[in-house]
Chains A and B, each alone.
Chain A
Amino acid sequence: MAAVGSSVARKDGIGKATGGAKYADDITFPGMLFGRTIRSTIPRGRIRSIELDFDRTGFTIVDYRDVPGKNAVDLMSQDQPFLVEREVRHMAEPILLLAHEDREKLAAARVKIEYEEDTPLFDPEKSEQVFKSIDIVKGDVVAALARADVIVEGTYRTGHQEHIYIEPNGVIAVPEDGGVAIHGSVQCPFYVLKALRCLLGSAHPNVRVIQTETGGGFGGKEEYPSMIAGHAVLLALKSGRPVKIIYDRVEDMIATTKRHPAIVRHRTGLTRDGRLVAMDIDVLFDGGAYVTLSPTVLSRGCIHAAGPYRCDDTRIQGRAVFTNTPPNGAFRGFGAPQTEFAVEVHMERIAEQLGIDPVELRRINALRPGDRTATGQILRDDCSAHMVLEAAVKRTDFARKREQYKGTNRTIGLSLFFHGAGFTGAGERNLKSKARLELTPNGVRIATGSTEIGQGTRTMHAQIVTDALGIPYEDVEVAQPDTSKVADSGPTVASRTCMVVGKILEECAHELKEKLGGLSPAEYYVRNGPLTVERMYEPPDWIQWDDNTYLGDAYATYGWGCDVVELELDPDTYEARPVKVTAVQEFGRPIHPALARGQIEGGTAQGLGYALLERVVMRNGAMANSTLTNYTIPTTLDMPEMDVVMLENPYPGGPFGAKGLGELPMDGPAPAVVNALRHMGLDVREIPATPELIAGCRTIA
């Protein structure tokens, strides 16, 4: 029986079910110290003095002067310091590091910092410091607006969202053989390696990064682990001992990245019968105090801003700007949930204003194979916007329910969405990702930097290799990512781990099979000894992309989804309670149906939290509700019935037809929730739609 397409046993199932799997905090090293980060308590200003008000016996103390290389996190830009030198740009910014073997003494150490405070900037609309601006212009939007029958305008807002991986960030730095090893909860070991090389400079060439079992990531362990790893390494090198830094929940919420808040403005021209003729879209992302990944988050946000719709004359203008808040960063969906929320609620408002059924409006405008996207990309046969829409409408009996629920406390709404898989444009070509297969005495070992963070990387990669090589699933093992031992397969982000890295592994397996010449891996190993195959990713040759105009083939393929949310509104408390979600999604082909379903169910849950519950309250530039008591994610009692439908439309460039999946389910729930509320006559244009927000909404005229 083929492994691909069946729900084989997870490679890591037993360790997780028994508690035997080792996460960062479960690991100790002899002589290990514990590390602590002293952080800023103002959002903007300069450090005037630092006073250490404790007995320093047994302490290791590190500040920016201990940095042997460059005091900058090497990501897209090198503007963020590992440790503040003088200028503070946000609350909870790291200033000083302490380590001690006794955690009580460490926690009790008092550090007094005096500042010269400046007036902070919190409003992104008032920010004049632009990290990145993007203009995507197709056709002539001004002329098209002028000839439109109807123009509909609107402004849509989305808030921060906190990742709440249940395992907080944590790493251990261990001095070894003239270098240092990092063991940590990380999504992208090679990003951490790059950052450490910059931090340490040429004096410390021997650095490696090993991923420990990771208790969730969702983008939240894409860039920030470089910071924590840098801190632990500085303490370990100075003390000569292993140093463990594990954030508690409050520190993790206050100091690390969140989803970018967004303000999106739409000005749309239509014919009277509902055909889109012009889309003019302005996207503003609050980047926080440093650049981090904001340019690429903005890029994906802008490319998805026109939604899965056909419109010849489109202009999308985006900016990511500075504010004095902790930097915002990667979070599942990477900019698209914000802009797809805006366009989907806007489409609903267009339907209301034209008096057209919202499903019909989407039928008129949804992309088909042969249509051009906002970047001018001509879609191929793997475009499934209409397929998911029709399947969802039929399965939920949408039209009848929409009519039936009128005037009751129950309502129904939908969203249509898409998500580009892999890095944008020339990104995959520039990345040059590699994957490796190594013969073992019993079978083969997969050796890549792709991390298992819950989504099933190990299992799904092993299934692909199993079938491509034609050996038993049990004979395929997956190496723990260790940058000194595995191929750099690129970061575990952007819905690329199955579609891109899985594809390289499939090709490695084909090459290996040829080299084995009909022998089993074990037979070959006995006769000839070790054998390794390594290959580099080759994106489809038809991809054309211009980074200056932002026009071309933005992604090799897209996943497509239609979510239908039914909810009830409490007439007294204004609490909106989802009762059923139907998620119809097409992502090529599921390699492992149960894992794929888990991605859809879990992403849908995060999307419902984003829509209704998860409000980050910022006070003087810091998250004021930084505990799980008052920042609430969905519990079992908040989650509705979920009906998941996985449609197939294989993508020829993916392994066994698979596209990317991880992020797609995050894009749909929020607009479907708000569109359901709108069907009740509530003029909601913002999330999270908390009871307070809903109570304050006008009714739709």
Chain B
Amino acid sequence: MKFTLNGETREIAVNPATRLIDVLREEFGLTGTKEGCGEGECGACTVLIDGEPVCSCIIPVSQVASAEVTTIEWLNGGHPLQKLFMDEVGAQCGICTPGMIMAALSLGPAPTLDDVRTALAGNLCRCTGYAAIYRAVLKWRGMPLEDGAGGAVVA
């Protein structure tokens, strides 16, 4: 079957029931997509399929035939959101980070804090309590930090 992966047309011959995450990690060596639960609950394996965030651990590869799949590797380290995740310490252990960034990419141009929370509701992070992630995403979109994503005080 054929599909577009990070802008390039790829053809593979695998069992059509193979999970998309296994194809990405094992056939193409794209290990930036992480597996946290294998049941679509944690979002660590989030990739974009035709621009929509999807858990690649519960998608059989046959479902992406002719579709466009985008993974964290496509950003190539140069995306402003990646830099902001570093600057704001939106990544602590880092295992949820690629999925979190991919999910955030689906946000519109001027998201509110509530929009950000809703867009990331399917992505679990156990380290940050999410606040630093909100700060990274809101700054990326040039939005003001609302209460709940505001600045710390050192007295």
Interface residues, chain A, CB within 8 Å of chain B?
7, 9-10, 12-23, 25-26, 163-168, 213-218, 248-249, 391, 453-456, 590, 593-595, 597-598, 601-606, 627-629, 633-637, 639-648
Contacts and interface: CB of A to CB of B under 8 A. Distances in A.
A628 B35 contact: no
A167 B99 CA distance: 13
Given A165-B126, A605-B130, A213 B94 contact: yes
Q: Which 4 A-B pairs have the closest CB atoms?
A: A19-B32, A16-B94, A215-B95, A454-B93
Contact of A25 (B32, B35, B123, B131): B35
8 contacts: A18-B98, A26-B31, A166-B95, A249-B36, A602-B92, A627-B37, A636-B123, A640-B148
A14 B77 contact: yes
Given A641-B148, A642-B129, A648-B155, 8 more contacts: A10-B91, A23-B95, A597-B89, A598-B127, A601-B131, A628-B39, A636-B117, A645-B155
Contacts of A12: 94
B2 interface: no
Contacts of B154: 590, 593, 646-648
Contacts of B31: 19, 22, 25-26
B70 interface: no
User: Which of B36, B73, B126, B147 has the largest number of chain A CB atoms within 10 A?
Assistant: B126
Interface stretch (B3-11, B59-67, B79-87): B79-87
Given A10-B86, A598-B127, A16 B91 contact: yes
Given A19-B98, A166-B44, A594-B88, A248 B131 contact: no
Contact of B87 (A9, A16, A22, A642): A9
B121 A636 contact: yes
A369 to B, nearest CB: 19
Given A18-B82, A602-B127, A605-B130, A454 B121 contact: no
A323 to B, nearest CB: 27
Contacts of A634: 129
A169 to B, nearest CB: 12
A17 B127 contact: no
Contacts of A648: 154-155
A25 to B, nearest CB: 7
Contact of A598 (B35, B121, B128): B128
A218 B126 contact: yes
Interface string B33-48: 1111111011010000
Given A16-B97, A628-B37, A644-B152, A455 B92 contact: yes
A41 B28 CA distance: 38
B42 A166 contact: yes
A19 B72 contact: yes
Contact of B128 (A13, A163, A391, A602): A602
B13 interface: no
Interface of B: 25, 31-39, 41-42, 44, 71-73, 75-77, 82-83, 85-89, 91-98, 101, 116-118, 120-132, 147-148, 150, 152-155
A16 B129 CA distance: 17
Contacts of B87: 9, 13
Contacts of B82: 14, 17-18
A17 B85 contact: yes
B125 to A, nearest CB: 7
B36 A166 contact: yes
Contacts of A645: 152-153, 155
A465 B38 CA distance: 41
User: Which of B116, B117, B123, B131 has the largest number of chain A CB atoms within 10 A?
Assistant: B131
A633 B124 contact: yes
Contacts of A590: 154
Given A18-B77, A605-B130, A629-B41, A215 B93 contact: yes
Nearest to B95: A215
Contacts of B92: 216, 454-456, 598, 602
Given A10-B89, A19-B72, A594-B89, A216 B95 contact: yes
B36 A642 contact: no
A21 B82 CA distance: 14
A597 B37 contact: no
Nearest to B129: A605
A594 B85 CA distance: 12
Nearest to A18: B77
Contacts of A606: 126, 129
B107 to A, nearest CB: 13
Nearest to B35: A25
B86 A602 contact: no
Contacts of A7: 89
Contacts of A594: 88-89, 132, 152
B64 to A, nearest CB: 19
Contacts of B91: 10, 13, 16-17
B98 to A, nearest CB: 4
Given A594-B89, A641-B147, A601 B129 contact: yes
A597 B130 CA distance: 12
A629 B86 contact: no
